[in-house]
Every structure is written in structure tokens, then in C-alpha cells.
Chain A
């Protein structure tokens, strides 16, 4: 299992029922998550729209101010406005999370498709390979990667992608196997369609929708992991307005200026929670569609 497999709710019984599980009428959580996501995407694309100030603008006279109407999230040691910095950091944090997820999904798709489509020998080999990768749990694979290629934003992003790939691969393999044994694929085989045609026309479309859910859930996790690497000094470095790097910079002033660490972290948490809520919402709609 990986973080993702748990988040994606694998192995949950589909018939677990109504008596103990209240039906959902409308999703307040999804609505809030959607609003926050709109805010994040706006901040990522047009940071000046949500925070007109300069994220690197130093103002030593107003250093270490606690949250106030003038500075919603307070200011840091150089008097830079934390709200402006957090908003302007959204772009890089989202980009890192998205790219890492795409790398993980891409690798997972390749490995999972190999295992799920090319017969038992390839399946066996890929599965052993995945078992080996799972023996480097969590951050370990990422740390090993950073040891080899050195710290930095790019390596940290690839490292997170790589570390999440085995989880994706296993989920995709399972999905492919269940689609492959379904009645419509059997029908297409009987009608004499070539394996390539079946893969492209029937199997991939039916695995893509769950992939979308996985990707949504995965972006939240990827942002948490990437910011952890930045926090540990292995990813983005200050004065970059990346969330993990901001938290790392605030660590020195934990006793006097809690807001320097609190707000960047809050954005990481809210992003991860929103991703989970949205992913779950999409999943539910797909399942009942």
C-alpha cells in the first residue's frame, strides 16, 4: 500500500451501506474545496490579482508585525508581507506538485500498463520490481535520488514523482486487469479486434477516469512531500516564496513570530485537504454516473 492507495480508498467494499452511512445530499466540503482551488489557480496564474504587493519588497521598518488589517498574515524578518509571499508562492508550489504528479502518473502508467497488458511473465517481473521500489518507503527513494543528483527544485520535483510512481503503477495495474477481464473487452476480442485497438479504444478510456481522480488526490500529497523536502533544505531555497521554503525560513523565529510558519503551512494543508475532497467528490460522481 502507499499513501495514495489509502487515499484512493482501495479495497473499500462497494456495498458498505446505508444503515450506518448517511447518504450525501450535497457536498459542502466539495464546494469549499472548489472555491479554495479557484483562489489557488487565480493566485498561481495572476498573483497580482489576489495580492497586489511585491513578494520580495523589503521594508525593515515593519519587520515581525503580527497579523493585522494592513498585513493579514503578518510580516517576516525583512518586513515582507506574508500574505503576498504565500499568494505569490502558490504558482511554484502548484507547479512542483503538478509536475511531480505527472511524472509519477506517467511512470506508473508505463509500468502499470506493461504489467497489466503484456502477459504473466512481464507482470511477474514488473511486480517484483515494484516490490523492490516499495522497500524504499516514502521519502527514502526521494532522498536517495537527491543524494545522486544533488538538491534543488528540479531534482526534488523529480524525486517526489519517482517516489510516488510505484503506488500509481500498482493501482493502474489493478484497474487494467479488472477492465481487461470485463465483458465488453471479451466481446471486442471475440469480434476480432487487434490487441492494440482494444487497448486504445476500450481499455485506456476506462482507466483514464480513475486516473483523473488519482491525479487530483496525488497533487495534494505531492505538494506536501515536495514542501517537506524544501523544508529540509533539499528543494526550493529561501528567499524563494515556495511554501516549504517559507516555513523553513520561519523556523528560526518560531518563538517570536509564529505567523511566519503558520500561514504557509496552512496553505499546504488546505491545498492537500481540498485536493482530497475534490478527488473523492469526482470519484463518487464517476461511480454513480
Chain B
């Protein structure tokens, strides 16, 4: 076999992954396009305000012509793909606004929430994992129990409990998300705690495996302190599987944002998506779903590349 440079191999792997990601994106667009056609009723009527509204046949015909609904399905599909490729997500039925700028304007708030929650979740999970593997049987059971309970906490209930505790009883934090830092605390905590439960379960297991591995034994044999063994050698290995979960964590945070933004009356992608589902504003839902799918695909792509660079064993695959 010809000797191929390491850089080339990484590059080739990256190219293959990129191709795969583009394929998934295309399929996501295709799937949503055809799924939307399953909606009962006439889309032209939905555009003009739903089946209940009194619409003249002329108005319906005009809308059909404007949106290309009188074209064959294949033509509509190709036109849709062409529009998506240029970043055009169509026009909202209910908000009289283009979908792409509307959703991009909402994206910032949700991303801020998600990134902060991810950070807090990591800290909580790492802290719990290290503490529960250091203590004895009791610490182990408490740690594992806390993780299971945290992972089972539904966002909507945790949010309610936090609001009752910190806003109603103690009066420390606002029950509705105000623009300042204080308004972020409860939404971020609500998103972070269940995520920390899931991440903690993974981290604790990999931390254990790392603590039992030969490189830790040799570090101990060299006379390194317990703290050095834990913080320098083991944590990195414990973190790797949790990093590979980033795509999943992203999806879970976005799902959580739908609930959290609604409860805390916080503007963002999640709340816009839920409102659009409730009033059946098809272009907004499709646009939001596509944006989330792109985000998810980007996340998995980035974690995959990061792992390829960090872990030599993955490069040859």
C-alpha cells in the first residue's frame, strides 16, 4: 500500500464526511417537502387564512399561481430545493414576514441559552462524576441516583419548581426571562440539570474505565499524586465520550428550548417553532426544522473531525 501522508488521510476522511453531511441535508429537505404534502386540505386555503375563511376561487387561483402550487410536484420540489439552496425559506402564513430573517433573528437568544446550559451541564456532570468515583459506596449510590433523577426531570416541571422556589417563595429571580443576567439563571438551570444527568452517566463510566487503565497505573507507579492522576490523565479520557455526544446534546437542548422559552416567555427559535406548530404556519415550522437539522449536522461533523484529529485510531477508518 502506498504511503499516504497523515494530512491527506485526515483530509480525505473529512471530505467523505462532508459529502455524507450534504447528502443527509438534501434528504432532510426532501423528507420535509414530501411530509408537508400529507397535510390534509388545500395549501392555497391555508395561505389565505385556513379552511374556515371565505375565499373566492379567483383568489385561490392567484395564490396557486404565485406559490407555484399549480405546477407538477416534481417542478415544485426542484423549485423548493433551488430556493433552499439560496437560503430562501419562503414566507410565513401568519406573520406576513419572510421566514429566513425571522428565524435568524430568533437564533441568537436560543444559541446563547444552549451554550450556557451546555457549559453548566458539563461542570455539574464532571463535578458529580469526580466526586462519586472518589467516595465510597455511599457516594457512588448518591451520584448514580442523582444522575438518574436529573435525567428523568422533565423541563416543564423543573422550570415550574424553580419558579416556585426562586421567584414566588424567595423572590430572588424573575419568573419571566428578563433581558439581564438574572433572567437567564432559571432558564439555563432548567436546561442544564437534565442534560447533566445524561452526561454524568456517560462520564462516570468512562472515568472509571480510565482510572483502571494501564496509563493511570503507570502514572501512579511514577509516583504522581492522586490529584494529578485524576485531573491530568483521567478527566481527558472521561470527557471524550461525552464530547462525542455533542450532536445529541445539541438536539436535546433545542427540544428543551421549545419548552423553556415558552415557560419563561423568552423570545427564541423554540418558542417561534411552537407557536408556528400551534397555528399551523407550515413555512415557519419547516424553516425552523431545517435550521435545527443544519445545526445538528454541523455539530456532528465538527465533533467527528475533532475526534479524528484527537484520536489517531479513528483516522484509518
The CA of A12 and the CA of B175, in the complex, are separated in Å by 40
Q: Does B122 contact A (CB under 8 A)?
A: no
Which residue on chain B has the smallest CB distance to residue A270?
B152
Task: Answer whether A12 and B248 are a contact pair too, CB < 8 Å, given A147-B280, A233-B278, A258-B164.
Answer: no
The CA of A2 and the CA of B151, in the complex, are separated in Å by 13
* Nearest Cβ on chain A to B234's Cβ, whole angstroms: 11
Q: Is the CB of B212 within 8 A of A20?
A: yes
Q: Does B232 contact A (CB under 8 A)?
A: no
Q: Does A87 contact B (CB under 8 A)?
A: no
Contact with A along B291-317 (1 / 0, CB 8 A): 011001100000000000000000000
Q: Does B178 contact A (CB under 8 A)?
A: no
Total interface residues in chain B, CB < 8 Å: 69
Most buried by A among B35, B244, B248: B248
Q: Is the CB of A269 within 8 A of B149?
A: yes
Q: Does B75 contact A (CB under 8 A)?
A: no
Q: Does B65 contact A (CB under 8 A)?
A: no
The CA of A273 and the CA of B197, in the complex, are separated in Å by 12
Q: Does B148 contact A (CB under 8 A)?
A: yes
Contact with A along B144-172 (1 / 0, CB 8 A): 01001101111111001101100010000
Task: Answer whether A136 and B285 are a contact pair too, CB < 8 Å, given A261-B157, A262-B164.
Answer: no
The CA of A148 and the CA of B244, in the complex, are separated in Å by 33
Give the residues in chain A near B148, CB-CB below 8 Å: 273, 276-277
Q: Is the CB of B258 within 8 A of A224?
A: no
Q: Is the CB of A144 within 8 A of B163?
A: no
Task: Answer whether A276 and B152 are a contact pair too, CB < 8 Å, given A138-B255, A247-B160, A254-B160.
Answer: yes
Q: Does A182 contact B (CB under 8 A)?
A: no
Q: Is the CB of B168 within 8 A of A135?
A: no
The CA of A276 and the CA of B149, in the complex, are separated in Å by 9
Task: Answer whether A228 and B163 are a contact pair too, CB < 8 Å, given A134-B296, A137-B296, A234-B278.
Answer: no
* Nearest Cβ on chain B to A145's Cβ, whole angstroms: 8
Which residue on chain B has the smallest CB distance to residue A1?
B248
Question: Pick the contact of B157 from A16, A131, A220, A247 — CB < 8 Å?
Answer: A247
B13-53 contacts to A, CB under 8 A, are 20, 23-25, 27-28, 31-32, 35-36, 38-39
B246-294 contacts to A, CB under 8 A, are 247-248, 250-252, 254-256, 258-259, 262-263, 273-274, 276-278, 280, 282, 285, 289, 292-293
Q: Which 6 pairs of residues, A with B, have the shortest CB-CB distance?
A: A137-B251, A138-B255, A265-B157, A272-B152, A22-B137, A139-B255
Using a CB–CB cutoff of 8 Å, the interface residues on chain B facing chain A are: 20, 23-25, 27-28, 31-32, 35-36, 38-39, 133, 136-137, 140-141, 145, 148-149, 151-157, 160-161, 163-164, 168, 175, 198, 201-202, 205, 208-209, 211-212, 241, 244-245, 247-248, 250-252, 254-256, 258-259, 262-263, 273-274, 276-278, 280, 282, 285, 289, 292-293, 296-297
